A and B are shown apart, each in its own frame.
Chain A
C-alpha cells in the first residue's frame, strides 16, 4: 500500500513549456484533488474529481487541465507554464463522505519552478 504517490518531486520549466504532474493512489478512493501551496496562502484547490470520468474546477483552475480515466490516476497538465505557476503542488485522495471511516491522504508534493 503506497498511499498517494506524485512524480516528479522537483521540476524546472521555462515559460511557455507544458508538462504533466502525475498522481496515483492505491486505496480505491473515489475523490481526488490537486492543490497548490504558496507562502502565506495555505492550500488552494485547482481541480478535483469525484470519480473516474468526472472532474470539476476548484478555486484556481486557470492554466491547468485534468482528466480522470481510471480510479487510480489523476494527472495535472500545465498547458503553457508561467512564472505565476511556481509553487508546490499536492495531490490528495479521500474516501468520500465525512463518516466514521473517512480518510484523506496527501502526496509528498511536486516543487515546480517556472523561469
Chain B
C-alpha cells in the first residue's frame, strides 16, 4: 500500500463549479500537508501548505486536513479554465526531510 493515495482522475467540471480534490494517507507521523499544481510539461508549483489539522484559505483555494481520518482536501471555488492542470498532494513528518507525493489528479475545467 502506498503511503499517500490520490485518485488519478481525470476529473472534468464546468467553469464556475467548486472542485474538490482529495488524498488519503497511512503514516500518522505526517504533520505538513502540501498541494502542488502542475501544468502539462512543466515543473510542479507549490500552491499552499498546512501544518497539522485545520483549514487554510488562499484566494479561491482552501486546503483542509483531517488527521483523525488521515484525509486531506483541496477546494477550488469559481473554477476557471486556467485551473486545468494536474494537482499533486504531498506530505512530510515534522522532523523528516523527505516529502512524499501522491500520484496526482488530472483536472479539466470546461468553458
Q: Which residues of A contact B60 (CB under 8 A)?
A: none
Q: Which residues of A contact B46 (CB under 8 A)?
A: 103-105
Q: Which one of B4, B99, B102 has the greatest number of beta carbons of chain A within 10 Å?
A: B99
Do B49 and A90 touch (CB < 8 A)?
no
Least CB distance, A86 to chain B, in whole angstroms: 16
Taking chain A's interface residues, is the majority helix, strand, or loop, or is none over half, making it mixed?
A: strand
Least CB distance, B22 to chain A, in whole angstroms: 15
Q: Which residues of A contact B90 (CB under 8 A)?
A: 43
Q: Which residues of A contact B42 (CB under 8 A)?
A: 108-109
Given known A-B contacts A98-B51, A108-B42, A43 and B88 have beta carbons under 8 A apart: yes
Do B49 and A106 touch (CB < 8 A)?
no
Do A45 and B43 touch (CB < 8 A)?
no
Partner of A42, one of B49, B51, B97, B101: B101
**How many A-B contacts are there with CB distance less than 8 Å?**
48
* Count of A interface residues, CB-CB < 8 Å: 26
B44 at the interface (CB under 8 A from A): yes
A77 at the interface (CB under 8 A from B): no
A101 at the interface (CB under 8 A from B): no
Classify chain B's interface size.
Answer: 20 to 34
**B window 75-102: CB within 8 A of A:** 88, 90, 97-102
Least CB distance, A114 to chain B, in whole angstroms: 19
User: 1/0 per position for A65-107, CB-CB distance to B under 8 A?
Assistant: 0000000000000000000000000101000001000111111
Q: Which residues of B contact A40 (CB under 8 A)?
A: 8, 103
Q: Footprint of B on A, CB under 8 Å?
A: 4, 31, 33, 35, 40-45, 48, 50, 56, 58-59, 90, 92, 98, 102-109
Additional 19 contacts, C-beta under 8 A, given A4-B43, A42-B102, A98-B32: A33-B99, A35-B101, A40-B8, A40-B103, A41-B103, A42-B88, A42-B101, A42-B103, A44-B101, A45-B98, A45-B100, A48-B98, A56-B97, A59-B98, A98-B49, A103-B46, A104-B46, A106-B45, A107-B43
Q: Footprint of A on B, CB under 8 Å?
A: 4, 6, 8, 32, 41-46, 49, 51, 88, 90, 97-104
